[in-house]
Amino acid sequence: MKSSFNTGDTRFIASTDKLVPMRTRERALKAAVTVVATKGFQALTHASVDAEAELPAGSTSNYFRTKSALISGLIEHISAPEQRSVPEVFAPETPEELVDKVSALVIELTTNRREYTAARLAIFLSGNHRAEIREGFAVGGASFRAAVKACFERFGAEDPGLASDAIVACAEGIIYRQIVWGFDIDPRGQLGLIAKGALASS
């Protein structure tokens, strides 16, 4: 059984009584995140991933035969955990709790998952003209907006869709400023202001 113990070495995962080698595919994907986050999307190649993961040459191509397959696998690796958490995270009972939960997500994405978020931004900004990249990230974005919209509907907002778009845009802007410019921003104030305005006439 795996544990949550962090060894600090991305080549291994912790089991109940010993360290076991991380699966090669997982090592490659984690290394791909690091390559893109630290060197940019254009640096993503099978060879650069092999080198970052300390894998034998050709290992990454065994799992992702083409560059497009590698990109698709990377996008899924970044997005899937966040998509799975949306139903659990966004079930607040009050507007204040919604603000707290969205703020907590922003903080998580800019601290513990900072490298993943930096990779996401690098991929999208450099490759948003590619359909597979837009479509790959679209599902997660849509589920996030739908969850927030459902909250505003329950809270009686006059225009739940507009309220959702506003709070999501604000959250994305804060994430961008923290990742790109290094600003240290507490998101609760700005997100709370939007939520308050959206519900002012309800």
pLDDT, tens only, 98-156: 999 999 999 999 999 999 999 999 998 888 788 888 888 888 888 889 999 999 999 99
CATH classification at residue 129: 1.10.357
Range of the domain at 57: 1-65
Q: Write out pLDDT tens, residues 116-126.
A: 999 999 998 88
132 and 174 fall within a common domain: yes
Is residue 143 a contact partner of residue 85, using CB atoms and an 8 Å limit? Answer: no
Last residue of a domain, one of 28, 46, 65: 65
Is residue 53 a contact partner of residue 26, using CB atoms and an 8 Å limit? Answer: no
Is residue 186 a contact partner of residue 98, using CB atoms and an 8 Å limit? Answer: no
Give the pair of three-digit tokens for residue 189.
Answer: 């104030």
Is residue 174 a contact partner of residue 158, using CB atoms and an 8 Å limit? Answer: no
> What crossing angle do the helices spanning 67-89 and 46-53 adopt, rounded to 10°?
60
